[in-house]
Amino acid sequence: MRATLRTPTAAEAVPVQAVWEASQQADDPGSRARGGWSVDSWATAKCALLLGEQVIGVAAVSAGNASTGTVAARVALDRDHRQPGLANLLIQACVDLARKAKGEVVRLFAPAEGDWAQQAAREAGFEPVRSILHMLLAARTPLLAADTARGVRIRPMHAGEEESILAALNRNWAGTWDFVPIRPEMLEADLVDQRDGMLLAVDDFDDRRILATCHAVFDPTDQNPDGDPRAWISNLTVDPDQRGRGLGRAMLVAGMRFLRSRGAGSITLGVDGGDPAPLRLYQSVGFETVSSTCAWDKSLRT
């Protein structure tokens, strides 16, 4: 039976999502987002791989960083159909979708355990450029004592601070690898039922001046990779002018203590494997890598 690629129909939305989630869970459980992996919330365009009438694979791209010429891509393939020929079809579909999005570079994110995807990427001319590590702090790990820099206070966000927080996040993240500006609706979605965990380091003399951020998210309706209630650290950032004062460690400890106070056991986070400073920080408090994703780039300029 011949495999075919095409845009999925509305009636195929459920099997497309099922293949997408099962494939990601099999290869990289540590990267699981809150509520699971949703292809529709991530992708701006997608293509289904069918064997007869059965959806067995998905190729998807996100053009959210298209202003830089880079289009992100991911693939999913049913575990019973992980054959080189089918994987190659999915990788080529990502390239085609990225071209349609007028990208100059397609950046494929493939789990380190997904040999089927990485081999196909290599054969298609992709080159590995970076690893994203998914880390976990075991529930048994004791927490460090809270500590803050002189002249700094850590507090939860206030009502009406969304615009200031958004500006601080984009300022602090700017210049980092694979940076995509955070949009207001993205921050709004992150804060749903999670406002208390948005922690800010502010100047003692100017409560509106945000020096560092840490979003400690606790969702007991969901799970960490080890089965503990879902708890993770995101948007741990420090203003470029404030680095070197220990604010990153202070915010991390504050976030960890917040999560444990809410009943969290293990705690998870993700980090750019090519940035040694935050990696050393996380390792120093007990986080260990549980899985990773590799980014592969292919130029579309020729």
Residue pLDDT, tens place only, 211-235? 999 999 999 999 998 999 999 999 9
Residue at token pair 């996040």: 169
- Residues 139-158, mean pLDDT to the nearest whole number: 89
Same domain, 59 and 176: no
Same domain, 151 and 113: no
- Residues 10-36, mean pLDDT to the nearest whole number: 89
Task: Express each pLDDT in 179-209 by its tens digit.
Answer: 888 999 999 999 999 999 999 999 999 999 9
- For residue 277, the domain's CATH number is 3.40.630.30
Position 32 scores a pLDDT of 79
Q: Is the pLDDT of residue 65 over 60?
A: no
Same domain, 147 and 280: yes
What whole-number distance in Å separates Cα of residue 32 and Cα of residue 24?
A: 8
Residue 301 binned pLDDT confidence (cut-offs 50, 70, 90): confident
- Residues 262-281, mean pLDDT to the nearest whole number: 95
46: its two tokens: 């997608």
Same domain, 52 and 143: no
Other residues' Cβ atoms within 10 Å of the Cβ of residue 193: 10
- Sequence-distant (6+) residues with CB within 8 A of 66 are 101, 102, 103
What whole-number distance in Å separates Cα of residue 168 and Cα of residue 171?
A: 5
Q: Average pLDDT of the chain?
A: 93
Q: Is the pLDDT of residue 71 over 70?
A: yes
72 closest CA partner among 190, 178, 175, 182:
178
- Residues 3-31, mean pLDDT to the nearest whole number: 93
182 lies in which domain range? 139-285
- Residues 123-143, mean pLDDT to the nearest whole number: 95
Residue 35 binned pLDDT confidence (cut-offs 50, 70, 90): confident
pTM equals 0.88
- Residues 15-32, mean pLDDT to the nearest whole number: 91
Same domain, 150 and 242: yes
In degrees, rounded to 5, the angle at the alpha carbon of residue 54 between the alpha carbons of residues 48 and 57 is: 35
Same domain, 96 and 166: no
Same domain, 66 and 188: no
Same domain, 280 and 155: yes
Q: How far is CA 87 from the centre of its chain?
A: 23
Same domain, 212 and 116: no
Same domain, 267 and 147: yes
- Residues 126-141, mean pLDDT to the nearest whole number: 95
Same domain, 89 and 59: yes
Same domain, 95 and 20: yes
In degrees, rounded to 5, the angle at the alpha carbon of residue 190 between the alpha carbons of residues 184 and 193 is: 125
Helix or strand run (H / E) with residue 47: strand 45-51
What interhelical angle do 84-100 and 115-123 show, nearest 10?
60
Strand ranges for 119-176 from DSSP E: 127-137, 152-156
**What's the total number of domains in the chain?**
2
Residue of higher predicted confidence among 263 and 25: 263
What interhelical angle do 276-284 and 247-261 show, nearest 10?
50
- Sequence-distant (6+) residues with CB within 8 A of 43 are 60, 61, 62, 74
Residue of higher predicted confidence among 145 and 272: 272
